[in-house]
Amino acid sequence: MSNLESQEMELLALQNIYEDNVFKVDKMDPPSGQFIAHVQIPKNFRIYYMTENKSSQVHEALIEESFSVDHLPPFNLFFCFPETYPLQTCPKFLLSCNWLSLQQLTVLCRHLEYLWALNNEVILFTWQQFLQFDALNFLNITDSLNITELLKFKRQNNFGNCETSRNDEENFNNCCAVGFSKSSLKNIKTAIDLPNIDPSLSGGYNMIDAHVFKDLSSEKGRINLLKDYNSKKKEDIFRSESHICSICFITKKGFDFVIFKACKHWFCRECITSYFEIKIEEGNIFSLNCLDGECQSQADILTIQQVVRKDLFEKYDKMLLHHSLETMPDVTFCPRKFCQCPLVIDVHDRMGTCPRCKFVFCPFCNMTYHGVAPCVFKSKEKTTLFDKYMQGNKSDKAELEKKYGKRLLKSLVEDTLSETWKNSNSKSCPHCKASIEKMEGCNKMTCFKCGTFFCWTCGAHLNRANPYEHFNSRTGDCILFEQNDLDNNVNGYEIQPGEFLIGNI
């Protein structure tokens, strides 16, 4: 069989074995293309590296950092068949991998050449199987990978020249989640189209094999790429399988589920949509958390946008913006409910003008502008201002006095303290609402203002002809004297049982 026939049969066989996203023929003159090999690694495979300990005062102190992955980005191999392949020469090829060092890739490249030299036969399937199942063992990598040297790598071309430039950063920013640069996978017709990157017929005699290609330059980029690829791969596997929602207990395909990024808990889209839409309609935009009862992680904005209706997401976005603006000291809102336009005001200015409806108002009490007259507050606003003033430090109080006036705050504090004492130590007459304090004695009270008889315990009106009848009722809970009053021997004499009872016993 001629070389050309062997090449055509090999490519045809591989196209039937693998899907297009694994093996791809770019062109046939000369025959060239690319394939990827997904590496088989043990579960919770550990990746570690040494980095500077910035908190240490020791010069060049290093600490170990690590993270675990279940999936690694695949090998990417570009190939081109010379006329003499497979009987006389090895294929031209270029091997790329973003988690191995140049030295490790060099070892693999030379072993790929060795595998072809064993039989001088078609070799791409053997290479793919070796990279997928045996490459890690060949490099003595078992349950962990040290990428310290890899992070020190400075981008080089196939001729060993340093090319760190602004273009490298742009190329890095174009790196996709599966571990290859977009330029090397999507925007080219063949590997030969890559600038300064040609599949090589020989690895050469340098320390770094000419078949080796690295396409990332950033340390942070490499680590993020490995983590992102692992997350993306796990998500793809999850979406291809069936799962039971822990809320509705219905089995659904993975693509019908939503995964919370912070905690990795997952629930079906229908349950999350119903829950989130109810919360947004109620205005509880900070309650869009994980549906697991013991988890408090919040959903990110992208997840919320994906699961709720467009109009509800717009409402959520407006409410979130409104809350963010409320936290800014120099931003307030027009007090008119139909307007609510945000505006920036001077914290010391006593007048605000809405840019939309032109309403002029006081930014402190949100009422119509009242000049130098003191602000009039509602009951709830008074309580809030009182708490803020009483709990503030010296500078906080000075700022509030400058803002509202010292006389107003003094009056507010006195009135609030007086009202608090009255609520704690007195009760209102059920007829005229006068405040009455009980010092001692029985629970039959007489209003000092209107003379109404009432019960101190429940506040009920008492029969004027027989006020004690209320306390003799067998169905009521009110008693004339509390136990502590009896024990204290009121006014120095003993209360005789039945002294105030009316009628026959």
- Rounded distance, CA 4 to CA 6, Å? 5
Does the annotation count 442 as an active-site position? Answer: yes
- Rounded distance, CA 299 to CA 394, Å? 40
The dihedral through the CA atoms of 362, 366, 370, 376 has a sign that is: negative
Cβ 39 vs Cβ 132: under 8 Å: yes
- Terminal-to-terminal C-alpha distance of the chain: 127
With CA atoms as reference, report the closest residue to 349 among 337, 367, 361: 361
What CA–CA distances, in Å, run from 130 to 99, 125, 138, 211, 216? 17, 9, 9, 17, 24
Q: What are the residue ranges of helices labelled H in 131-218?
A: 135-138, 148-151, 166-173, 182-185
**Catalytic-role residue among 175, 245, 354, 442:** 442
With CA atoms as reference, report the closest residue to 24 among 176, 183, 186, 179: 186
3-state secondary structure of 79: strand
What CA–CA distances, in Å, run from 378 to 32, 33, 373? 80, 77, 16
The dihedral through the CA atoms of 156, 160, 161, 162 has a sign that is: positive
- Rounded distance, CA 300 to CA 317, Å? 12
Cβ 354 vs Cβ 363: under 8 Å: no
Compute the radius of gyration of the chain from its Cα atoms: 40
* DSSP letter for each residue of 20-69: TTTEEEEEETTEEEEEEEPPP--TTEEEEEEEE-TT--STT-EEEEEEEE
φ, ψ (nearest 5 deg) of residue 454 = -150, 160
With CA atoms as reference, report the closest residue to 467 among 446, 448, 449, 487: 446
The dihedral through the CA atoms of 260, 263, 264, 270 has a sign that is: negative
Cβ 222 vs Cβ 150: under 8 Å: yes
3-state secondary structure of 416: helix
The answer for residues whose C-beta is within 8 angstroms of residue 286's C-beta and 6 or more apart is: 298
Report the catalytic residues: 442
